[in-house]
Chains A and B, each alone.
Chain A
Amino acid sequence: MELWTSLPVIVRILLGIVAILLPLLGLVAYYTLAERKIIGYIQVRIGPNRVGFRGLLQPIADAVKLMFKEIVIPTRADKGLFLLAPMIAIAPALAAWAVIPFDAGLVLSDINAGLLYILALTSLGVYGIIIAGWASNSKYALLGAMRSAAQIVSYEIAMGFALVGVLVAAGSLNLGAIVGAQSGSALTWFWLPLLPLFGVYLVSGVAETNRAPFDVAEGESEIVAGFHVEYSGMAFAVFFLAEYANMILIATLTALLFFGGWLSPFPQAWVDGVFLLDDGFHWLLVKVFFFMFVFLWLRATFPRYRYDQIMRLGWKVFIPITIAWILVVGLAVVYKLPPWWAV
C-alpha cells in the first residue's frame, strides 16, 4: 500500500488502465470462442475443437492468422478515412471503461458525470461505422453503413430515455452512486421498479451493437458483410474487437444499472461478512457473464428482423414505453414510493 501511494500519479493511472485493459482484451478474445462453442452446442454441433485442448487456443490462432494477412486498401477508397474508421470504432468502446466501477470504490476515475460520459462515448461508435462505409467506396459497405447508422441512432433514443429513468430512480449520474442507491436485496435492484426500461435497455443494447437479431448492418445473406466488407486482416480484427468490447460494456452496464452491480442478491443482514455471499466483485462478474450469455443466446435463437420491423420497434414501441415509464418513475420518486424510495 505504501509502495502504491509512493508512485507518481501518472504511473498509477497507467497501471490502473493496464489492469482493466488486459483482462478486458483477454475476455474479448475468449468471448469469441465462447460464442462459437455455445452457439455450436445450441445447434447440436461441437464448435471449434482442434487448436489446443478442446479448442482453447482458437482465439490466439485466429489473432496470429489475421496478423499475417494483407490489409487490402481498395484503390478507390479514401485511404485516410478508411484506416481511421477502425480506430474510431475501438477507442470509445475501450475508453468507456474508465468510469466503470468494479466494486465499492474500485473505479479508475470516479467522476460525477459518469453516465453522461458513457452515453457520449457509446454515441461515438456510430462514426466508426459510417466512416468505414463511406470511405470504402463500395455499394455494400455504403448500404450497410446507412442501415446501421439509422438503426443505431433510433435505438440510442430509446436507450437514452431508459437511462433517464435510471437517473430519476437513482438521483445521480455517478455509476457507483447508482449501484449504491439499489442496495438492499435483489428486490430493491432497479430491474423491478424499472422493468419496462430494463427490457428496452437490453434490447436496445443488442440493436446498438448490431448483434443478431438486429444485424441487418452485416446481413450476410443480403449485403455480404455490410460496412466492413472491404476490410481485411488486422483492420477487420479491430472492428471485431470493438464489437465484442461493446457487447461486454453493455452487459456490464446492464448489471450495474439494473441488477445492483457488485451487490449480493441476499438481504445485507443475512450475508454480512459471509465469504462469497457478501457484496463483491464476483457478483458483478456473475451478472456480467449472464448478460454476455444472453447476447449469444439471442443470436442462436432468433431469426433476423426485417428492417422496417426494426425501425417500427424502436420508434413506435420503445419510445412511447420509455416516455410513459419515465413519468411513472418520476411520480414514484416524488411520492417516495417504498421500498425503493422510502426516506
Chain B
Amino acid sequence: MLDNYLPVLIFILIGILVGVGPLVLGYFLGPRRPDREKDSPYECGFEAFESARMKFDVRYYLVAILFIIFDLEIAFLFPWAVALEGLGMVGFVAMTLFLGILVVGFIYEWRKGALEWE
C-alpha cells in the first residue's frame, strides 16, 4: 500500500532538483557584474521611494479568510463524494443540510459586501 507512494516522494525530490539545476547552471554560466543601479528594485527608472513593504488592502486578507472556510468545506465534501453511492438518500440529505448552512454564511458575506471589489 505505502509502496505506491514511494514514486511520489522521489518525483517531488526530482521536481525540486529540476528547479535547482537551472539556477546552479545560470549561476556558473552567467556573468556577475553587480552595480548599485542594477541591483536596486525596479521602479520605472526612479529612485525607489518608500519601502516596498507597504500597507495593502484589507480585502486581500478577507479573501484569504473566506478561502480557508470554503477550502475546509471542500475537504469535508471529498470523502462524502466518494461514498455517496453507498450512502444513498440519507447521505444526500445530510450533505444538503451541511451545504445549506454553508450557503447561509455565503449569502451573509455577499449581503455584507465582503465580495465587492470596487
Contacts and interface: CB of A to CB of B under 8 A. Distances in A.
B115 A108 contact: no
Contacts of A315: 66, 115
A109 interface: yes
Nearest to B19: A87
Contacts of B116: 308
Contacts of A238: 19, 22-23
Contact residues of A: prevailing secondary structure: helix
Contacts of A13: 6-7, 10
Nearest to B110: A316
A72 B23 CA distance: 12
B52 A137 contact: yes
A246 B107 CA distance: 33
Contacts of B82: 167, 171-173
Interface of A: 9-10, 13-14, 16-17, 21, 25, 66-77, 83, 86-95, 97-99, 108-111, 116-117, 136-143, 146, 149-150, 153-154, 156-157, 160-161, 163-165, 167-168, 171-173, 224, 229-230, 233-235, 237-238, 241, 307-308, 311-312, 315-316, 319-320, 323, 326-327, 330-331, 333-334
Contacts of A17: 7, 10-11, 14
Contacts of A95: 8, 11-12, 14-15
Contacts of B25: 67, 234
Query: For A109, A111, A311, which residue has the most chain B Cβ atoms within 10 angstroms?
Result: A109
Interface in B23-71: 23, 25-27, 29-34, 36, 38-43, 48, 51-54, 56-57, 59-60, 63-64, 66-67, 70-71
B18 A90 contact: yes
Nearest to B85: A171
Given A72-B38, A111-B5, A146-B56, A164 B14 contact: no
A66 B26 CA distance: 8
A132 to B, nearest CB: 12
B67 A154 contact: yes
Interface string B71-83: 1001001100110
B101 interface: no
B77 A164 contact: yes
Contact of B63 (A91, A153, A319): A153
Contact of A229 (B12, B42, B59, B89): B42
Contacts of B51: 137
Given A83-B23, A142-B52, A161-B74, A333 B106 contact: no
A141 B41 CA distance: 9
B81 A164 contact: yes
A335 to B, nearest CB: 9
B23 A157 contact: no
Contacts of B27: 71, 234
B108 interface: no
B41 A230 contact: yes
Contacts of A9: 3, 6
A140 B42 contact: yes
Contacts of A323: 99, 102-103
A94 B14 CA distance: 9
Nearest to A334: B92
B16 interface: yes
A343 B69 CA distance: 36
Contacts of B77: 161, 164, 326
Contacts of A97: 11
A89 B19 CA distance: 8
A95 B12 CA distance: 5
Contacts of B26: 66-67, 69, 71, 233-235, 237
A167 B29 contact: no
23 contacts: A17-B11, A67-B30, A68-B29, A68-B31, A69-B30, A77-B41, A90-B18, A93-B15, A97-B11, A99-B8, A138-B52, A139-B41, A146-B56, A154-B63, A157-B70, A164-B81, A230-B42, A234-B23, A308-B116, A311-B115, A323-B102, A327-B96, A330-B92
A110 B4 contact: yes
B20 interface: yes
Nearest to A16: B7
